[in-house]
A = this chain, B = another copy of it.
Amino acid sequence: MLNILVCLDSNYINPLKVMLYSLFSNNENSNFDIYLMHSKIPQDKLNSLNDYIVNNWPNNSFYPIKVSSDDFKNAPVVSYYSEEMYYRLFAHKYLPKNMERILYLDPDILVINEINDLYNVDFGNNLFAACHHNKIFIKGINKIRLLQYQIEEYYNSGVLMMNLTEQRKRIEEKVIYDFIEKNKAILILPDQDILNSLYSKDIKDVDEILYNYDTRFYTYYKFLSKGKVDMDYIFDNTVILHFCGKKKPWKKPYSGEFYSLYKHYQKQVQKLENK
């Protein structure tokens, strides 16, 4: 049984269904417990999500976790920053006490191969396993912006293997709140900035080509790898395609190498729902 965590609001339920479809259909030998942390998704939508999961994949289970806004009443507010973005960092507080590991996934993802190797990663003493997006320009910008925190790599927070046992011991709410309060002005992607500024030395680095392939950079990855990372390589090896950036394949306008693939999965979800 593999644990998956998602944290989102009602706007992302449809992309979530597509992500889960891809996860389940490409991991037919695994069963999943899906944990959804949310603050205000209405009960009827949770019920319908539960039906979607357990009716179509009866070996999987769905556990919504409602987070009370009171829990975050002391959290500093940044205007463009939804409360749900915090949740992944505090998930260890809300998940079952005996759970040792869980894979956090953003909803703008397709899982196209088996996730077992990622799931069973050897954390060592690290709190997380994640991928840094090794693009020189991104690294440059973020190193300057968050210079004082001596970031080695800028990790993407959309795919996070979580070492819950260690997190319960070592992640402190107050440290995170203080960080936000102090850096409000320069935070762009708050959860990601927090992850990188406070925990980058506690992150085990895993290969972005395999586990957090940024779909905007097909040409870039192919060029940097001298042609190795082409479409064949991706379908044989890449596990997680991440539709990073503002433009999303479920919203027009969109274009890109993986648009037709995304639409294919979206269509499969529609078919299940119209059954």
Separation in Å of the A214 CB from the closest CB of chain B?
A: 14
Q: Which residues of chain B come closer than 8 Å to A273, judged between CB atoms?
A: none
- A252 in contact with B264 given A257-B259, A259-B257 (CB within 8 Å): no
Which of A254, A259, A260, A266 counts the most B-chain CB atoms under 10 A from its CB?
A260
Q: How far is the CA of A87 from the CA of B235 in the complex (A)?
A: 35
Q: Please tell me if A261 contacts chain B, counting CB pairs below 8 Å.
A: yes
Q: How far is the CA of A234 from the CA of B266 in the complex (A)?
A: 13
Task: Please determine whether A260 and B261 come into contact, CB atoms closer than 8 angstroms.
Answer: yes
- Chain A interface, DSSP helix/strand/loop, else mixed: helix
Task: Pick 23 A–B contacts, CB within 8 A, sort by A.
Answer: A112-B264, A112-B267, A230-B252, A231-B254, A231-B259, A231-B260, A231-B263, A232-B252, A232-B263, A234-B260, A235-B263, A235-B264, A235-B266, A235-B267, A255-B257, A257-B260, A258-B260, A260-B260, A260-B261, A261-B261, A261-B263, A261-B264, A264-B264
